[in-house]
Amino acid sequence: MGSILREWVGFQQFPAATQSKLVELFGKLKEKGVSALTILVMGKGGVGKSSTINSLIGERVVNVNAFSSEVSRPVMVSRTRAGFTLNIVDTPGLVEGGYVNYQALELIKRFLLNKTIDVLLYVDRMDAYRVDDLDKQIISAISDSFGKEILRKSLLVLTHAQLCPPDDLSYDVFPARRSEAVLKTIRAGSRMRARDFKDSAIPVGLVENSGRCNKNESDEKILPNGKAWIPSLVKEIIGVATNGNKSIVVDKKLLEGSESNDRGKVFIPLILGVQWLLVKWIQRAIRDDIAKGGKAF
């Protein structure tokens, strides 16, 4: 289904320091009996979904375009290394002409049939300064489509993280404020209670896909705070994958949205029962009325 299992050659392209950190992280996963991860990447158009996938795989596996959408349907990229398989699903942007693209979401769901999502990367830009109702609607659409539980398997990814914050904010403060704003919208969109949302705490990963990203002495891409972001992001991904919440199984039931229909179906016998009683009651009332009427004449 659009996925070819290949040896993860891009892994060798990472600097040695990154490679050894990743080997350690994947080793810990294997110790927990996890030998494969499936990551779904979603977000608005042009936020850097495909670029982030290319950065994570270390190869140009999906197309990136500055000015127009490249991915019109979901694509799964699979790479295997030392008995570990990484599957990443790239998807088209979820906004079309200023509205949530429900059709794209449906397409993604169909593509994922019989697959299990271990982690959702919800991608947005760090260098945006506002959130709006559309952001909220996107989250509502995702949680209606895959179930609220998907938020417990989510990681917020903010791209363009090598930015100069506005004059009045330091680099330490800016990502926290931007994350807070996006997370608030995610909570509102998911219609989760504040406490439930807090319990499922969505972590945040910062990303800089640009080839001009600064590097440390070990040649690793770093953010202005000095952190090598690829190993940090992988660590966050693994954290979500192993956070104790169930992965999302995309089965026929989820595809048909039968969960919500089923909930309604429970009331059908009750409604029929009440209707039957009502008819009986009316019939009796009419009979009584006729009987009474009969006596009057």
Nearer to ligand GTP, 26 or 92 (CB): 92
- Binding span for Mg ion by CB under 5 A among 43-51, 124-132, 253-261, 274-282: 43-51
- Binding span for Mg ion by CB under 5 A among 7-15, 64-72, 74-82, 96-104: 64-72
**Residue 140 annotated as lining a ligand binding site:** no
Options 21, 26, 49, 174; binder of ligand GTP; rule CB under 6 A: 49
Options 15, 45, 165, 257; binder of ligand GTP; rule CB under 6 A: 45
Options 39, 42, 56, 71; binder of ligand GTP; rule CB under 6 A: 71
CB–CB of 57/89 below 8 Å? Answer: no
Nearer to Mg ion, 49 or 136 (CB): 49
**Residue 180 annotated as lining a ligand binding site:** no
Closest CA to 36 of 94, 81, 100, 96: 81
| C-alpha span between 70 and 50 (Å, rounded) | 9
Determine if 190 is a binding residue for ligand GTP (CB under 6 A): no
Nearer to ligand GTP, 63 or 261 (CB): 63
Strand ranges across the sheet with 154-159: 5-7, 75-81, 84-90, 36-43, 119-125, 154-159, 204-206
Residue 205: phi and psi, rounded to 5, are: -120, 135
Pair of tokens at residue 70: 């490249």
**Residue 46 annotated as lining a ligand binding site:** yes
The CA–CA distances, whole Å, from 165 to 48, 83, 123, 173 equal 19, 42, 19, 9
Residues across the chain? 297
Determine if 52 is a binding residue for Mg ion (CB under 5 A): no
| C-alpha span between 86 and 30 (Å, rounded) | 12
Q: Site size for Mg ion, by CB under 5 A?
A: 3
**Residue 20 annotated as lining a ligand binding site:** no
DSSP state of 246: P
Pair of tokens at residue 82: 């030392």
Nearer to ligand GTP, 51 or 143 (CB): 51
Footprint of ligand GTP on residues 81-110 (CB under 6 A)? 92-93
Determine if 71 is a binding residue for Mg ion (CB under 5 A): yes
**Cβ neighbour number for residue 17 with a 10 Å cutoff:** 15
Provide the binding-site residues for Mg ion, judged by CB under 5 A: 49-50, 71
Instruction: Could you list the residues known to form a binding site for Mg(2+), using ranges.
Output: 50
